[in-house]
Structure 1
Amino acid sequence: MDDEGRSGGGAADEVGAFLDLACLTYADDGPERWAEAAALLVAHPDLPTRDVHVAAAVGDLTSLRALLRADPGLADARRPDGRTPLMCLAYARVPQDDPYGSARLLLDAGADPDAGVLLGGQAPPFTVLTGCFGEGEQGPGRQPRHPQGEALAALLLERGAEPADGQTLYDRMFSRDDSHLRLLLAHGLGRGDGGVWRRRLGERQDTPARMVALQVDWARDHGLTDRAALLAAHGFTEGAPDERPSPWRLRGDVPAVARVGTPVGVRAFAAAGGDLDAKVHGRTLLHHAAWLGDVELVAALLEVGADPQVLDDDHAATPLGWAEWGCAPVTADLLRPITP
């Protein structure tokens, strides 16, 4: 047996290939990779019985139980890239038999609910919670939430996971959905000392208070009124201080549409004569909403006259192109009939 679970040699190569394809990497994610992982599992159906990380990634409770019975230390075994079985479960985007039961079994066996890795050596860490909540710079279509992400996250938080998860807050800040914030705030986000990762990383890791202040700034800057209200209801109304501002603050000569983030805001902005097609960072709000798969926001923009044929500056692509690249089929379907 080696540190990768239970197998060596060629079996270890198959295990590594499967996990690299099945789990979010935050480098080259997308449905085609998960389809390859599924095909690899069909070709090697015994992989979950041979390796604890694969068993966790597919939520195979029976195989997990047998492997842990033989070696309880496997509950927190780390692969060469640092991933634990619980991380593989949270980051996998292949069909899983019983992810919740498997997560509970691993936690009962001593798995660390705060396990994580520093991608590229950079803070904040990508933790188990980060994998549950999903999303990120490639968008929710290519880096989706775990199908049972909220239930898994609630279990982790109940078992002591630190709610001040900076990578989750970053990955989920681009869209309007606040379900992650409601759960994290209910478990103490913004309070306390930051837990194990703050102790490990020191000043490289933001304090919980600063993490929330950055969210306040983002919500205000981007017109996310529901998010601002949610944070205020928990007592968070102050953004980052001027001497250490948010790295994402909208400053300088930025088009006003950059601060419009909701369907209600879009309609009010259009009624006031605002330019809906002005580009922010080289793309329009319609590009952004299409990529996110935000059907309500796309529909509102089209309703008040946003142009679906505008090309972005970097890729010369329409909003439809962004939706298709972002694996957002519903917004793509809205845009396809009106995009030459």
Structure 2
Amino acid sequence: MSASAGAAPADTFLTLARLTYVDDSPERRSDALALLAEQPDLARRDVFAAAALGDRDAVGEHLDRDPAVASAAGDDGWTPLMCLTYARVPQRDAYGTARLLLDAGADPDAGVLLGGDVPPFTALTGCFGEGEQGPGRQPRHPQGEALATLLLERGADPSDGQALYNRMFGRDDSHLRLLLAHGLGRGDGGTWRRRLGERQDPPGRMVALQVDWARDHGFTDRLTLLAAYGFGEGTPLDHPSPWHERVALPAVFAAATPAGVRGVAAEGAPLDVKHHGRTLLHHAAWIDDVELVEVLLELGADPGVLDDEHRATPLGWAAWAYAHRTAALLRPVTPEPLA
């Protein structure tokens, strides 16, 4: 699907309404709603649009006419269930619509290989949201936990490598608690491992990657949670994590929690040291971690420092990422002009 002028209205709406993991922003979702205002019958005309809107009644009408649409895929491989979990426009009844689709035969493990790359972006991935563009551009589904629970109860494989990657940057572990409770890291890898073979990491390695990341970045609560389920080992030296640092991280990055930062600051660790060209304050601003930004500022981190690639302040990073809460903290203390 494409948002080009020649695309069908439903295709354009879906491209704008869903997370695409290419170019996501609130403005795109606003454009989707503007298109919907011009085409108010989209849900009645297109089952994918109906699912994206969580319109249970409209989806029910499509199913009454053709039950096979529950598991149908568009030209891009997206199913109605995926359109529902990746949509970030207001939805009428997301949970009821998802349950209706699953009752009609929708595949809870539906997914696509974006750009042909692994791991797949599944319906479950869409529930959890977030990713490299930050939670402001790629937010979680408002009912993500309930929808993810429903999918897992209906057979979705909890070892979802893309969901794990997208959510590993921040300190919140709610996704891990849910996935671990449903068998994350166990089993044979399910549908996608059978389909992709060695291209898809086995479940145990997916969790080992999370152990590596948590250990490298001082996420002690995450390490404790993973250890409680028997996952205390990271990736082996002969097959290391692609994210594992070859050299030790600067102390403030290796203790990237509020308590950890207080600890290393008390020992004299510099707060404005850069890693990959940016400070921890840039990173905390981008992921909208209010508590971490507050602690860094309290301890004397410089809000005016520029990153090496974009020459932007932490406030600039927050503004680009639509991280409104951290931007509000940084705006009064950032020197002008904003880079």
TM-score in terms of structure 1 length: 0.96
Specify every segment of 5 or more residues in structure 1 that has no aligned partner in the other structure, as ranges: 5-9
Equivalent in 61, 64, 70 of residue 66 of structure 1:
61
Quote the sequence identity (%): 71
Map Cα deviations across residues 64-123 of structure 1 (whole Å, 9 max, x no partner).
111101100000111111000000000000000000000000000000000000011111
Structure 1 equivalent of residue 278 of structure 2: 283
Is contact 2:216–2:249 with CA below 8 Å preserved after alignment? no
Q: What secondary structure is seen at the aligned counterpart in 1 of 2:276?
A: coil
Which one of 138, 145, 148 corresponds to residue 140 of structure 2? 145
Look up the equivalent residue of 1:124 and give its one-letter code: P
- RMSD across aligned C-alpha pairs, in angstroms? 1.2
1:246 aligns with 2:241: yes
Could you list the structure 1 runs, at least 4 aligned residues long, displaced by more than 3 angstroms after superposition: none
Provide the secondary structure at the position in 1 that maps to 2:253.
helix
Written as runs of structure 1 = structure 2, the 5 A alignment for 1:83-162 is: 83-162=78-157
Distance of 2:305 and 2:195 partners within structure 1: 47
Indicate conservation of the 8 Å contact 2:290/2:325, yes or no: yes
SS state at 2:326 partner: helix
Summarize deviations over 1:12-43 as a string: whole Å, max 9, x none.
70010000000011011000000000000010
TM-superposed CA distance for 1:255, in Å, is: 2.0
**Partner residue of 1:7?**
none
Answer yes or no: is 1:317 the counterpart of 2:315.
Answer: no
Give the match for residue 55 of structure 1.
Answer: 50
Answer whether contact 2:218 2:256 (CA < 8 A) is retained: yes
CA distance in 2, matches of 1:11, 1:57: 21
Distance, in Å, in 2 between the alignment partners of 1:193 and 1:52 is 33
* Corresponding position of 1:264: 259
- Cα distance in 2 between the residues matched to 1:162 and 1:65: 26
Query: In 2, Cα distance between the equivalents of 1:218 and 1:11?
Result: 44
Residue 257 of structure 1, CA deviation: 2.0
Bigger Cα displacement from structure 2, 226-235 vs 247-256: 247-256
2:180 to 185, 201, 218: 185
Match of 2:295 in 1: 300
* Counterpart among 155, 167, 171 of residue 166 in structure 2: 171
How far does the alpha carbon of each residue in 1:213-271 deviate from its partner, in whole angstroms, 9 at most, with x for none? 00001000000011000001111000000000000012225422220121000111110
Deviations 1:44-74 (A, max 9, x none): 0000001110000000011011110110000
Aligned counterpart for 1:233 among listed residues 215, 228, 231: 228
- State the match for 2:193 in structure 1: 198
Separation of aligned partners in 2, 1:254 and 1:161:
36
SS in 2 for 1:258: coil
Asked if 1:19 corresponds to 2:22, the answer is no
CA distance in 1, matches of 2:292, 2:77: 39
Aligned equivalents of 1:56, 1:262: Cα separation in 2? 38
Q: Give the SS at the match of 2:240.
A: coil
- Distance (whole Å) between structure 2 residues aligned to residue 76 and residue 159 of structure 1: 14
CA apart distance, 1:326: 0.4
Which digits, 9 at most, give the CA deviation of each residue in 1:109-157, with x for residues without a partner? 0000000000111110000011000000000000000000000000000
Letter in 1 for 2:237: D
User: Partner letter of residue 280 of structure 1?
Assistant: H
CA distance in 2, matches of 1:67, 1:202: 35
Counterpart amino acid of 1:160? G
TM-score (normalizing by structure 2): 0.96
Count of aligned pairs between the two proteins: 332
Looking at structure 1, the residues matched to 136 and 249 of structure 2 have their Cα atoms a distance apart, in angstroms, of 28
* d(CA) in 2 for partners of 1:93, 1:17: 14
Q: Which residue of 1 aligns with 2:325?
A: 330
